[in-house]
Amino acid sequence: MKHIEFHGQNGCRSLYRWAALLVMAAGILAVFVSISASGAHKKKEKRTSYGTGVETGFYPVKYHDTCLIFRPFFVSGDFFSGLNQIDTPAGKQFEKKKQTYRTFPDSIIVDVEVDAIPCDISDPRPPSTDIEIGIVGTLSFGTNWKIGGPQPPLRAVVPIKVEHPYHGPIWDYFLEIPAKDIPLATELSIEVTARDRINIGAFSAHL
């Protein structure tokens, strides 16, 4: 896909380049922290209009010369805020204020945050408007809980809200997902497509 030349001043170009570096560094650091942590795992939290969400993954996907970074957050009021995952010989347990939780609320909101940055961080140009609006701004989703046995087809989910808070490369898609009686350790499969049924990628979100 073609880039549109960015005619801003050098300072703006440098700022964008450093912002891209910081985004990627933060994501890589989050992955290493998640891998190296033991015992109780602290999740990154984010305030949304549906409550406090916790980050449930970090997934970079390359599309042509643009890197799309997906960060899904589980949200249900303040249910997930301060919910700690503890590894035990019997498996994962989830506790909050000395109370053990085993299943999700009846439904949750999944905030799929997507960021678009150049894969080549030496390139001072931001992703083109065509990518931002035509790809990042027109995403569709299919989801399904991984509950053992043959997996049914992914269910198409229409976002209940789409936010573009800073009118930059970051978008938020809010998906309402039924979750009654689903164990908290269950993974959620998410498939992403763009306009003209372009397959962007698939990943799993989990606590």
- Taking the model in full, what pTM does it have? 0.77
Write down the pLDDT at residue 6.
Answer: 33
Handedness of CA 140, 77, 27, 85 (dihedral sign): negative
Write down the pLDDT at residue 132.
Answer: 65
Write down the pLDDT at residue 123.
Answer: 67
Residues of the chain with pLDDT under 50: 1-23, 25, 28-40
Beta-strand (E) ranges in the chain? 40-41, 45-48, 51-55, 59-63, 66-75, 84-88, 91-96, 99-101, 107-118, 140-145, 155-157, 161-163, 170-178, 188-194, 198-205
Write down the pLDDT at residue 91.
Answer: 82
Write down the pLDDT at residue 90.
Answer: 81
Write down the pLDDT at residue 66.
Answer: 84
Write down the pLDDT at residue 125.
Answer: 67
Kind and range of the H or E element at 131? helix 129-134
Write down the pLDDT at residue 146.
Answer: 94
* Nearest residue to 109 (alpha-carbon basis) of 141, 142, 72, 140: 72
Write down the pLDDT at residue 121.
Answer: 74
